[in-house]
Structure 1
Amino acid sequence: MIRHLAPLFFLLIWTASGQAQSALNDSTAVAGRWSTERINNWYAEQPWLVGCNYYPRTAINQIDMWQASTWDPATIREELGWAADLGMNTLRVYLHDLVWADDESGLYQRMDEFLTICQQYGIRPFFVFFDDCHFPDPQLGEQPLPVASFHNSGWVNSPARELANRYAEGKATSEEVARLKAYVQKTIQRFRDDERVLLWELYNEPGRGQGELSPESNAYAGGIGEKSNQLVYNTWLWAREVNPSQPITSTTHGCVGERNIKINRINSDLHSIHPYGGPDYLTKTIEEYQKDGRPVLVTEWLARTHGSTVQECLPIMKEMNVGAINWGFVSGETGTVWPWSSRKGTDGEKLSAHALREAGKVVKPGEPFPEPEVWFHDLFRADGTPYDQAEIQLFKELTKRESEKEQ
Structure 2
Amino acid sequence: MSMFLLFLILLAWHHGFAGEVILQDDFEGDLLDSWQVAGGQWLVREGRCTAEGPFSLLVYPQESRRDLEAAADVAYSHNESHAAAGLVFRYDMKDSTGYAVCLREIERGTHPRFGPWERPVLQLFRMDGDGLKLLQESKVMDCRSGLLRRLRVICYGPDIWVFYQDMSEPVLKEYDPQYVRAGLFGLWKDHRGIGLFDNVVVSTVDSVPASPLRTDWSWVRGAVYVRSNAVNSVQMWHDYWDHTDVLDREFFYASCYGFNMVQVYLHWIIWDRHNEEYLRRIDDLLTRVSTYGLKANLIFWDDCGHVEPNLVFADPVPGRHNSQMMPNPSHRIRDSEFAMAGHKERFRDYVVNVTQRFRDDDRIAFWQLYNEGMGARETYRISRTDANLNRLLGWTREWVKATGTPIPVTATGGGFYGPQYSDFYTYHSYGNGTDPLPNTDGGSEHLCTETLNRPHTSLVDCLREFGGKQNGFVVWELMVGRDNCRYPWGHPDGFKEPVSPFHGVVYPDGHPWDMREIQAMLGEKAFAALQERMFQVEYFEGRFHKRKKASITPLIDFDLGDEHGYGSPDASAGIAKDHFSIRWTGKRTVPTTGVYTFYADCDGVLGLWMDQAPVIQKDHPRREEVQGDIELIRDRPYSIRIEYYHPKGDASNHISWSGPGASKRRLRLDD
Match of 2:340 among 144, 169, 172: 172
After TM superposition, list the pairs within 5 Å mapping 1:51-90 onto structure 2.
Answer: 51-68=222-239, 71-90=242-261
Q: Once the 2 structures are TM-superposed, how far is the Cα of residue 233 of structure 1 from its aligned partner?
A: 2.1
Indicate the residue corresponding to 1:276 in structure 2.
430
Give yes or no for contact 2:271–2:350 (8 Å, CA) kept in 1.
yes
Indicate the residue corresponding to 1:217 in structure 2.
none
Q: Once the 2 structures are TM-superposed, how far is the Cα of residue 112 of structure 1 from its aligned partner?
A: 1.0
* Bigger share in helix: 1
CA distance in 2 between partners of 1:399 and 1:115 (Å): 30
Instruction: Provide Cα deviations, 1:287-338, integer angstroms capped at 9, x if missing partner.
Output: 2x45xxx711111000013x22222221221222211110012211111111
Q: Once the 2 structures are TM-superposed, how far is the Cα of residue 95 of structure 1 from its aligned partner?
A: 0.3
Match of 1:382 among 508, 511, 519: 508
2:308 corresponds to 1:159: no
Residue identity matched to 2:447: L
Indicate the residue corresponding to 1:354 in structure 2.
none
Indicate the residue corresponding to 1:3 in structure 2.
161
CA distance in 2 between partners of 1:254 and 1:396 (Å): 32
2:143 corresponds to 1:143: no
Q: Once the 2 structures are TM-superposed, how far is the Cα of residue 149 of structure 1 from its aligned partner?
A: 2.0
Q: 1:272 to 1:127 in 2, by over 3 A?
A: same
Indicate the residue corresponding to 2:499 in structure 1.
373
Give yes or no for contact 2:255–2:292 (8 Å, CA) kept in 1.
yes
Paired residues, number: 330
CA distance in 2 between partners of 1:102 and 1:74 (Å): 24
CA distance in 2 between partners of 1:80 and 1:105 (Å): 24
Instruction: Provide Cα deviations, 1:78-125, integer angstroms capped at 9, x if missing partner.
Output: 011110011211111000000011112111111111111111111010
Indicate the residue corresponding to 1:93 in structure 2.
264
Give yes or no for contact 1:210–1:224 (8 Å, CA) kept in 2.
no
After TM superposition, list the pairs within 5 Å mapping 1:123-134 onto structure 2.
Answer: 123-134=294-305
Q: 1:282 to 1:178 in 2, by over 3 A?
A: farther
TM-score, structure 2 as length reference:
0.46
Q: Once the 2 structures are TM-superposed, how far is the Cα of residue 172 of structure 1 from its aligned partner?
A: 3.5
Match of 2:367 among 182, 189, 200: 200
Give yes or no for contact 1:251–1:271 (8 Å, CA) kept in 2.
yes
Indicate the residue corresponding to 1:296 in structure 2.
446
Indicate the residue corresponding to 1:20 in structure 2.
none
Give yes or no for contact 2:218–2:470 (8 Å, CA) kept in 1.
no
- Residue 394 of structure 2: SS of its match in structure 1? helix
Q: 1:146 to 1:119 in 2, by over 3 A?
A: same
CA distance in 2 between partners of 1:158 and 1:371 (Å): 29
2:104 corresponds to 1:104: no
Residue identity matched to 2:504: D
Consecutive unaligned residues in structure 1, runs of 5 or more: 11-24, 212-221, 346-360, 363-369, 402-407
Indicate the residue corresponding to 1:119 in structure 2.
290
CA distance in 2 between partners of 1:330 and 1:300 (Å): 14
CA distance in 1 between partners of 2:326 and 2:355 (Å): 22
Residue identity matched to 2:408: P
Residue identity matched to 1:49: V
Residue identity matched to 2:411: S
Consecutive unaligned residues in structure 2, runs of 5 or more: 1-158, 174-208, 528-671
- Residue 295 of structure 2: SS of its match in structure 1? coil
After TM superposition, list the pairs within 5 Å mapping 1:239-254 onto structure 2.
Answer: 239-254=400-415
Give yes or no for contact 1:185–1:238 (8 Å, CA) kept in 2.
yes
Q: Once the 2 structures are TM-superposed, how far is the Cα of residue 35 of structure 1 from its aligned partner?
A: 3.7
Q: Once the 2 structures are TM-superposed, how far is the Cα of residue 267 of structure 1 from its aligned partner?
A: 3.2
Match of 1:285 among 427, 436, 439: 439
- Residue 498 of structure 2: SS of its match in structure 1? coil
Q: 1:117 to 1:387 in 2, by over 3 A?
A: same
CA distance in 2 between partners of 1:380 and 1:223 (Å): 40
CA distance in 1 between partners of 2:294 and 2:240 (Å): 25
Instruction: Provide Cα deviations, 1:168-216, integer angstroms capped at 9, x if missing partner.
Output: x245354x110111211211111010111111000000125668xxxxx
Give yes or no for contact 2:309–2:327 (8 Å, CA) kept in 1.
yes
TM-score, structure 1 as length reference:
0.73
2:519 corresponds to 1:393: yes
Give yes or no for contact 2:307–2:324 (8 Å, CA) kept in 1.
no
Q: 1:242 to 1:80 in 2, by over 3 A?
A: same
Q: 1:139 to 1:399 in 2, by over 3 A?
A: farther
**Alignment root-mean-square deviation, CA:** 3.0
Of structures 1 and 2, the one scoring higher in RCO (CA 8 A, sep 6+) is 1
Give yes or no for contact 2:163–2:172 (8 Å, CA) kept in 1.
no
- Residue 507 of structure 2: SS of its match in structure 1? coil
Give yes or no for contact 1:134–1:209 (8 Å, CA) kept in 2.
no
Residue identity matched to 1:144: A
Give yes or no for contact 1:80–1:121 (8 Å, CA) kept in 2.
yes
